[in-house]
Amino acid sequence: MKNIATINPALYGGLVKVLSFLSQGKESTAVLSIKNGILDDMTNTGFVHADLTSLFGENSIDFIDPAKTSKLLKLLSGGDQFAFIDDEENNRYIVTNILSTVQIPKAMDSSNVIPPVLDTVLSSTKIDTDSVFNIDEAQKTLEADHVVLYLDNDHKVCKIGVQDTYKKNIVTGKNENELTKYQVFCFMPLKGSDYTYQIVKHSSSEDIWLKTTVDLDILEITYYEKLAQAAEFDAFSLI
């Protein structure tokens, strides 16, 4: 047996949070791979990238059935550290905090998910969690640097307006910002302390993506969602 990693409770909690998010909607045959400490995965609406070398170094792990894996990992609590052990002979991982132990099935194959390469940043803004959760209920909008957020009836961000184009005001003769509105399906993939949003695209493509970096305090994950331009709407009449 090989000891893959020994991590503290804070990092372990962050890992469980990320795996729980990624397990949503996945079948029992799904494989979630951490390759050389890097996690790349795909959801129904986009891609997820996370650097987990602070937990696993450059080791690789292949989980099968992410939903079952996250449930098993949640069973462990307490203790000062969590050890991940590769039991190669029995084709499983053993995770223990000394107080208790769970056995995680190992996948026979690795997943091969590659996030999009997006090298052109059109706009970028950083928003803290409190700002998002305290958006004015009457107007249901939040304005940040180059970005306007629009909420739906459930108080969830459903559209994002980006000041990425300019037009000339025929009265003043000056160039003014013009909003382009995009539909958003996964604005806050995980609750973190703050979020960095970038509107990006590939230099050889016209496709627009929302790149969301979530600060979990002890970990960061990046979520990529391909955006479709939204129909014109009144930001103050979403109800």
**Percent of the residues in the chain that have a pLDDT greater than 90, as a whole number:** 25
Among 187, 181, 177, 186, which Cα is nearest to 160's?
181
179-218: per-residue pLDDT in tens?
677 777 776 667 778 888 888 877 677 788 888 888 888 8
Please give the DSSP secondary-structure letter assigned to residue 144: E
- Residue-wise pLDDT for 74-98, tens only, equals 999 888 899 999 999 999 999 999 8
pLDDT at 173 over 50: yes
Q: Give per-residue pLDDT as tens, 43-62.
A: 888 899 999 998 999 999 99
Residue 226's pLDDT is what? Answer: 85
CATH number of 2-105: 3.10.150.10
Contact 221, 48 (CB under 8 A): yes
What is the pLDDT, as a whole number, of residue 29? 87
Pick the most confident of 95-99, 106-110, 156-160. Answer: 95-99
pLDDT of the residue at 59: 92
The Cα 47–Cα 49 span in angstroms is: 7
Full-model pTM: 0.77
Which pLDDT band, with edges at 50, 70 and 90, does 236 fall under?
very low
Q: Which amino acid is at 173?
A: G
pLDDT at 168: 47
Q: Is the pLDDT of residue 154 over 60?
A: no
Domain with CATH 3.10.150.10 in the chain: 2-105
CA distance 63 to 155: 34
